[in-house]
């Protein structure tokens, strides 16, 4: 199997560019797929993404000022609108519209800001993944965040598609007993856009985070339903119920814990990425200590992943030509890579 440093970027895809809360009064500079981008919400409320380089003297527009419509370069005052067209060129008359900077399609939806880095004519908003939990009632407590990760984004996808790492990387949080993990049943299915799996750890020891959040007294039936959508999203539905409650037939019943996670990783460079995650849980009270601890544990567990994939990247970067091996448990990882390669082949 190729190491991630050997993979290319998929350009014709929607990526999360930012959380809406990151775009208030100030422009935000962010590198995405090796392009320096400025993101901003102008005073009319519209979010835009331009290349972060004024066409005049290459000053970064992110050093500038958000205007009613567009952004003003902080060096000589040229203003560019959300399409990248110069709409004010102070003192320089009528020829302003020849000055343009590249703009990128942006969609703001369900509290995500999505960007399209490829061919504009292929940017189909209907392909954006649905994740309604930011807009749902407070049955579901949720938390979201952005982690900068010094590793290729594919290492994050691989990480999510082989859960046997939980027993070693997340011992003190969302892990659980290594033997239970190794023995988990795993049903892997190819989808049109990637791969999904259903994984059961029946009659297993709940991990510390689950016990603290939902008060389990004994063993549980624990499930993990993961779907990878190429190139860089993972939708996770998992949870646990006391043994005997019939979890296999009905996971969405009262009691126990039910979790929805949206993982999305936007490549920054070949060796770094932006990890956007959103975690919703039912079965823990939103403003309770247990609910807070649950979300804190999730945040902490993802920092454990960050540390591991960054370490992995440092080893791969030192010897970029060596390939990786697969184990029995890497079946879903292999299908994830296959779906990614199919997408790359279309470019």
Residues forming a β-bridge with 116:
14
C-alpha closest to that of 73 among 88, 81, 63, 83? 63
Give the shortest CB-92-to-its own copies separation in angstroms.
5
Binding of its own copies at residue 53 (CB under 8 A)? Answer: yes
Identify the residue among 121, 126, 318, 345 touching its own copies (CB under 8 A): 318
Q: Candidates 120-128, 179-187, 197-205, 336-344: pick the segment binding its own copies (CB under 8 A).
A: 179-187
- Give the position of tokens 């939708």: 235
Other Cβ atoms within 10 Å of 251 Cβ, number: 18
Identify the residue among 183, 189, 218, 248 touching its own copies (CB under 8 A): 183
For its own copies, which is the closer residue by CB, 8 or 57?
A: 57
For its own copies, which is the closer residue by CB, 74 or 215?
A: 74
C-alpha closest to that of 66 among 50, 83, 79, 75? 79
Binding of its own copies at residue 162 (CB under 8 A)? Answer: yes
Q: Which residues 6+ apart lie within 8 Å of 175 measured at CB? A: 166, 167, 168, 169, 181, 207, 208
Site string for its own copies, 322-341 (x = CB under 8 A): x-xxxxxx------------
Give the shortest CB-288-to-its own copies separation in angstroms.
33
- Report yes or no: 329 and 164 within 8 Å, Cβ to Cβ: yes
Identify the residue among 67, 85, 92, 303 touching its own copies (CB under 8 A): 92
Other Cβ atoms within 10 Å of 96 Cβ, number: 17
Residues 97-126 that bind its own copies (CB under 8 A): 99
Write out the H or E segment, with its range, that includes residue 263.
Answer: strand 257-269
CA distance 147 to 165: 20
Residues 59-78 that bind its own copies (CB under 8 A): 59-60, 63, 72-77
The SS3 call for residue 48 is strand
For its own copies, which is the closer residue by CB, 113 or 201?
A: 201
Residues forming a β-bridge with 263:
234, 277
Site residues, its own copies (CB under 8 A): 3, 36, 52-53, 55-60, 63, 72-77, 89-93, 99, 158, 162, 164-165, 167-169, 178-179, 181-183, 307-308, 311-312, 314-316, 318-319, 322, 324-329
């Amino acid at each position: 199997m190729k190491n991630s440093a050997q993979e290319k970027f998929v350009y014709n895809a929607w990526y999360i560019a930012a959380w809406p809360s990151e775009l208030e009064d100030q422009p935000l500079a962010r590198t995405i797929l090796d392009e320096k981008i400025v993101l901003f919400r102008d005073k009319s409320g519209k979010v835009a993404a331009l290349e972060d380089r004024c066409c005049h003297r290459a000053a970064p527009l992110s050093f500038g000022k958000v205007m009613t419509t567009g952004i003003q370069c902080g060096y000589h005052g040229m203003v560019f609108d959300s399409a990248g067209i110069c709409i004010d060129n102070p003192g320089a008359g009528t020829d302003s519209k020849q000055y343009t900077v590249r703009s990128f399609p942006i969609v703001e939806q369900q509290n995500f800001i999505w960007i399209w880095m490829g061919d504009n004519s292929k940017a189909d908003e209907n392909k954006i993944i649905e994740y309604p939990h930011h807009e749902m009632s407070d049955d579901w407590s949720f938390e979201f965040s952005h982690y900068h990760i010094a590793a290729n984004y594919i290492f994050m996808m691989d990480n999510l598609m082989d859960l046997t790492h939980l027993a070693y990387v997340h011992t003190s949080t969302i892990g659980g007993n290594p033997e239970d993990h190794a023995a988990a049943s795993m049903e892997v299915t190819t989808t049109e856009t990637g791969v999904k799996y259903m994984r059961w750890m029946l009659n297993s020891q709940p991990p510390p985070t689950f016990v603290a959040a939902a008060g389990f007294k004994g063993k549980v039936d624990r499930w993990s339903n993961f779907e990878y959508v190429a190139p860089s999203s993972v939708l996770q539905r998992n949870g646990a119920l006391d043994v005997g409650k019939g979890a296999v037939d009905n996971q969405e019943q009262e009691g126990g814990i039910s979790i929805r996670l949206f993982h999305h990783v936007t490549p920054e460079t070949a060796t770094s990425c932006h990890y956007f995650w959103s975690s919703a849980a039912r079965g823990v009270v939103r403003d309770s200590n247990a609910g807070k601890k649950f979300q804190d544990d999730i945040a902490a567990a993802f920092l454990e992943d960050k540390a591991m994939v960054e370490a992995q990247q440092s080893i791969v970067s030192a010897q970029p030509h060596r390939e990786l091996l697969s184990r029995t448990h890497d079946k879903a990882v292999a299908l994830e890579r296959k779906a990614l390669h199919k997408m790359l082949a279309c470019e």
